[in-house]
Structure 1
Amino acid sequence: MPEPHLDRRLFLKGTAVTGAALALGTTAVPAASAAPGGFPDYTHVRTLLTPAQLAYNPTGEIIFPTVRGVYDRLSASGRLGRYYLYYAPHDAPGGICLAYGDSLEGPFTEYPDNPIVSNRWSPHYSVSHVSSPHVMWNADEKEMWLYFHGENTTTRLARSADGVHFTYDKVVLTTAMLPSGTTETSYARVFRHDLPARGARYVMVFMINNTTNRRDIGWGWSADGRTWAFDQRPLVRHTDVGAVNVGGPHLLHRDGSTYVVYNKDKESGGDLMITEVGDDFSLRRHLGVFYDSRGSAPENGRAAAPSFGTDGGVPYMVYEAGERLAGSIAMARG
């Protein structure tokens, strides 16, 4: 049978299966359903990466992990490991980085030639920093597509056949595409998701900031992952969930519906929250805390920017843990 939409096949009824790292024939095991929406109850296990252990460490901080299984995408002779973990410093100069390993529980090895994308890419751009890597396997093109920001006003796309060496493609989102007063459009993640009424096959979720310096979550849709239209209203407003700011969104799918998971700022509790938006994005059911960040070190009351995957049918979440710009990349098991 044909392969399903990979980034949509996140959670199937009674099991936990994520599109971040799936091969055909993967068998999922039943998972406890304790989080809102019937999702697994994730528990912190260990730290995967800290800035101090990295050779490329220009600013002493790393953020925004994305984990992708490549064992069913790249040839055994051409890949570095079964899983690729992308991350970045945020502050200038930033730089899109890669680590690789054979298990989502680690260890992960830093790629020796990081950053794989820097803040200068002639003739395409020269900016203070690039950050927030989200890599999507594009099954239509048989490529890894990297979405990243630099500056905070601009989200860009680069493409790769091997997940390591990228070719610049284009700008996909800027503040000019949203209402007047928008000052940031960044931290975007893109997923394969059909919206027939809009003629779309891909959905983007991202963070919006404006002149009030209060952050919301926006969304857009695309037929090809390159040319986008954007809703001029936020998908989730910070005021909807009693937060000062929200960001770091990720889509999940379960039992015939779609959800967005995102982080609240530490002022508002620092937890991961979940809102059901429905397969057509017409719902706004705010379901509360998806992951409580207060339970274990090194989170120190803040979890953010989650990415999801499976290993041997077991669900995992890879995320930022700890103070913003002073934390680590951690892993939780469902």
Structure 2
Amino acid sequence: MYEPHQPSRRILLKSAAATTAALTVGTAASPALAAAPAPAAAPGGFPDYRYVKTLLTPGQLKYNPTGEIIFPCIRGAQGRVSAPLGRYYLYYAPHDAPGGICLAYGDHIEGPFTEYPHNPIVSNRWQPHYSVTHVSSPHVMWNESPRRCGLIPRREHRRGWPAPKDGINFTYDKVVLTASMLPAGTKETSYARVFPYELPAKNAHYVMLFMLNNTTDHRDIHWGWSADGRTWTFDQKALVSHTDVAAVNVGGPHLLTRGGSAFVVYNKDKESGGDLMITELGENFTLRRHLGRFYDSANGAPDNGRSAAPSFGTEGGVPYMVYEAGERLKGSIAVARG
């Protein structure tokens, strides 16, 4: 179950000219899948992802202040990041204080990954911009125009957007989302990811998906849109409510596209089954078709009945999902192959 947090929630933006790469989101753009689609057991025509191996566990990490890690973000570095340490960068963080955005690198999505020796790359203190109890849940996005990379970390539910030339050394920019921008009673905006996505009716080139908690202590998926990735408008209604899918809480959203339609994949809390679910949004985010279970969390290790915060990519035309596996604050980072 998602734990309550302090009521101070803001999301901030940081930026600078740079280069870091995103893998192809989802599987729609994979030439291998287009030529010879794998049997699709998941709703929406997506692959049937199956667990392959565990990539990172807290006990193997030098930077391990709390014995737990969450919210992986897998990104291709080759051709994007200057002098990359490996072909793939895997960002992650501890959840609890002090947190800290961390990096591991490797040459294959299935690993092995090597911990960056100077983690965390973004800490809970960044003078003169902020000093908070913890910073967590990174999401990195590569933007071709302008050539810029962004990282959205949570710092006590404030979101930001720094951008480095090497995918490691970030600069601070601005706050982009606060609880005051959302309905009265909002006390938490967390676990955000930003994606390039065209919404001509809203003059938007980006969408943000995130989790919102209010005074009811039930968490829903919310969203916003932006023309430039820095200034945002946020819908005041939930994109996916916990009641829509018979859950106590939903969170960890990720956008996928296929067949001209958008989909959001997200996790249920363990009390509600602990699986990854999928909802079709349509081309213009006007559809709400709840398609059911996207990934069935195994009862045994490493899932132990809970999978969360998926991040998607391809390598050599093969689709992968990197995700948070295991009980909340007791899990690891795992990879599944489609």
* Alpha-carbon distance, 1:87 to partner: 0.1
Q: 1:208, 1:49 → 2: CA distance?
A: 28
Correspondences of 1:18-33 after superposition (within 5 Å): 30-33=37-40
* Alpha-carbon distance, 1:11 to partner: 3.0
1:90 aligns with 2:106: no
Report the equivalent of 2:172: 168
Report the equivalent of 1:315: 319
Report the equivalent of 2:247: 243
Report the equivalent of 2:303: 299
1:246·1:264 contact (CA, 8 Å) conserved in 2? yes
Report the equivalent of 1:140: 145
Q: 1:12, 1:87 → 2: CA distance?
A: 25
1:150 aligns with 2:155: yes
* Alpha-carbon distance, 1:296 to partner: 4.7
Question: Which of 282, 286, 304 does residue 282 from structure 1 map onto?
Answer: 286
Report the equivalent of 1:200: 204
One-letter amino acid matched to 2:61: L
Corresponding pairs, count: 317
SS of 1:159 mapped into structure 2: coil
Correspondences of 1:99-110 after superposition (within 5 Å): 99-110=104-115
Report the equivalent of 1:22: none
Report the equivalent of 1:37: 44
CA RMSD of aligned residues (A): 1.6
Question: Which of 41, 64, 75 does residue 71 from structure 2 map onto?
Answer: 64
TM-score (norm 2): 0.91
1:7·1:192 contact (CA, 8 Å) conserved in 2? no
Report the equivalent of 2:230: 226
Percent identical residues: 71
SS of 2:44 mapped into structure 1: helix
Gaps in structure 2 of 5+ consecutive residues: 1-21
1:96·1:117 contact (CA, 8 Å) conserved in 2? yes
1:74 aligns with 2:81: yes
Q: Please list the CA deviations of residues 120-158 of structure 1 after superposition, one character each: whole Å capped at 9, or x if unmatched.
A: 001111110000000000111322200011112x21211
Correspondences of 1:203-218 after superposition (within 5 Å): 203-218=207-222
Q: Structure 2 vs 1, CA of residues 124 and 218 (structure 1 numbering), >3 Å: closer, same or farther?
A: same
Q: 2:299, 2:37 → 1: CA distance?
A: 24
Report the equivalent of 1:50: 57
1:264·1:270 contact (CA, 8 Å) conserved in 2? yes
1:11 aligns with 2:15: no
SS of 1:300 mapped into structure 2: coil
The 10-residue stretch of structure 1 (79-88 or 143-152) with the greater mean CA deviation from structure 2: 143-152
Question: Which of 168, 186, 191 does residue 187 from structure 1 map onto?
Answer: 191
Q: 2:283, 2:232 → 1: CA distance?
A: 18
Which structure has more relative contact order (CA 8 Å, sep 6+)? It is 2
Q: 1:296, 1:15 → 2: CA distance?
A: 34
Report the equivalent of 1:271: 275
Gaps in structure 1 of 5+ consecutive residues: 1-5, 18-26
